[in-house]
């Protein structure tokens, strides 16, 4: 019995002796950019140090090599692709600016859609959006079948994406990523790949809209903002591949003597607000027939050469981030707290993380991130942004305008 224990202990020690150099060298490959390259490197290091004593490693290394080759084939070789950024002006398309970019390509899609009313797929990504997600679904479900709506859920814990909370037929896809927050690059790559998957599944066009964004065709051209008809016209029009929206941020007059009430989320949102401002950052190329690559935040895009992009000034992106003071401060407080967990390392984290790292005071940070939800009036009842205390960031308030009455009367969000 003692001999068996000694032999067992000897094998354990031998395995530890074998595995140590493998682990030591493995640290040099774990930061590889492509999953296939990383997996193949791991298998080669394992083969180098372990295959003599453990023959199964040879089989594993061979299998990883086959998988890496297939992955590389599906992903266009990974690097060296030429993408072009098509800037635009109010008249249409300007000359593209082409640069080398890495564009991940989705694996072959197995998603199906067979509804005769299908036009475009519509999708978003969420994390703990119990207030806005039902509004987003309510809006887009009026224009597309529920089976063409897709929600990418990034580790929600508030129950908002549970099956009993989401309308029947709507697709919920679970993502795995950073449990503390959703870095912009993680968000971008998942959106780009999922957009490709939907196009490869056979959808004629795809719309990506964040959970507080509502795409609204002008009611003069599309009565009641009929987005389904707009989708069909976009599909039928073969003169362009991608549409860029005309972005507007809805504001909340919430401070001072004259105020608007808190949003009633069970009623039409836009009729409850009077002010907005045009925002070039929300002129987004998010309705497309072809794959698009985005800068973090989706505020600018890279396209392949010869992509035909149309800026449609009558297709509004109505952004409700600032639409309610309490909602905005609550959401941004949560994001600020999550961003703080990431610390000072911001190489892959933009937006709120930069603000979080600029402010030690939570209230100062969240008020800056919600500044247009804090509109006030002066003695002449002129609507303007508040003065922010302890603000070290450059900030100038946009001109605030009345939302056109024809939109408030005929659009339901």
Taking only the tens place, the pLDDT of each residue in 260-271 is: 999 999 999 999
Residue 6 lies in a domain: yes
Q: Is residue 333 part of a domain?
A: no
pLDDT tens digits, residue range 205-214? 999 999 999 9
Residue 194: domain span = 81-319
CB 230 within 8 A of CB 312: no
Domain end position, chosen among 319, 345, 364: 319
Is 344 within a domain?
no
Give CA–CA dist 39/63, Å, rounded: 11
What pLDDT does 27 receive? Answer: 44
Residues 277 and 172 in one domain: yes
Q: Answer with the one of 272, 288, 319 that is the final residue of a domain.
A: 319
Average pLDDT, the chain: 75
Domain count, the chain: 2
Please report, for the domain that includes residue 151, its CATH number: 3.90.550
Domain boundary among 303, 319, 335: 319
Per-residue pLDDT tens digits for 96-117: 344 434 444 555 455 666 777 7
Residues 179 and 42 in one domain: no
Residue 181 has pLDDT above 80, yes or no: no
Structural domain contains residue 387: no
Look at residue 12 in the predicted model and tell me its pLDDT. 55
């Amino acid at each position: 019995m003692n001999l068996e224990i000694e032999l067992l202990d000897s094998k354990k020690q031998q395995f530890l002796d074998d595995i140590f150099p493998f682990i030591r060298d493995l640290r040099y490959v774990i930061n590889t950019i492509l999953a296939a390259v990383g997996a193949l490197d791991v298998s080669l290091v394992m083969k180098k140090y372990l295959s003599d004593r453990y023959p199964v490693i040879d089989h594993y290394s061979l299998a990883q090599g086959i998988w890496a080759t297939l992955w590389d084939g599906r992903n266009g070789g990974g690097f060296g692709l030429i993408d072009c950024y098509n800037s635009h002006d109010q008249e249409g398309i300007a000359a593209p600016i082409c640069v080398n970019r890495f564009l991940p390509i989705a694996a072959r899609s197995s998603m199906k859609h067979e509804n005769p009313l299908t036009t475009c797929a519509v999708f978003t990504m969420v994390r703990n959006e119990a207030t806005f997600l039902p509004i987003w679904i309510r809006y887009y479900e009026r224009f597309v079948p529920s089976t063409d709506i897709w929600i990418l859920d990034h580790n929600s814990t508030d129950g908002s994406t549970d099956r009993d909370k989401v309308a029947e037929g709507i697709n919920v896809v679970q993502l795995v990523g950073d449990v503390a927050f959703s870095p912009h690059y993680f968000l971008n790559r998942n959106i780009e790949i999922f957009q490709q998957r939907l196009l490869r599944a056979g959808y004629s066009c795809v719309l990506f809209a964040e959970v507080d964004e509502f795409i609204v065709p002008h009611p003069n051209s599309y009565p009641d903002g009929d987005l389904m008809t707009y989708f069909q016209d976009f599909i039928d029009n073969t003169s362009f591949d991608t549409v860029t929206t005309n972005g507007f941020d809805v504001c909340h007059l919430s401070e001072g003597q004259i105020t608007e009430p808190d949003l009633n989320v069970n009623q039409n949102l836009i009729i409850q607000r009077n002010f907005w401002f045009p925002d070039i950052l929300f002129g987004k190329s998010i309705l497309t027939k072809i794959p698009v690559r985005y800068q973090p935040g989706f505020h600018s895009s890279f396209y392949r050469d010869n992509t035909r992009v149309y800026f449609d000034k009558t297709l509004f992106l109505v952004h409700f981030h600032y639409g309610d003071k309490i909602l905005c401060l609550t959401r941004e407080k949560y994001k600020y707290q999550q961003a703080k967990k990431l610390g000072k390392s911001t190489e892959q984290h933009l937006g709120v993380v930069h603000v979080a790292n600029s402010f030690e005071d939570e209230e100062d940070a969240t008020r800056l991130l919600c500044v247009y939800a804090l509109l006030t009036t002066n003695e002449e009842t002129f609507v303007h942004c508040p003065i922010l205390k302890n603000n070290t960031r450059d900030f100038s308030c946009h001109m605030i305008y009345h939302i056109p009455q024809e939109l408030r009367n005929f659009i339901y969000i």
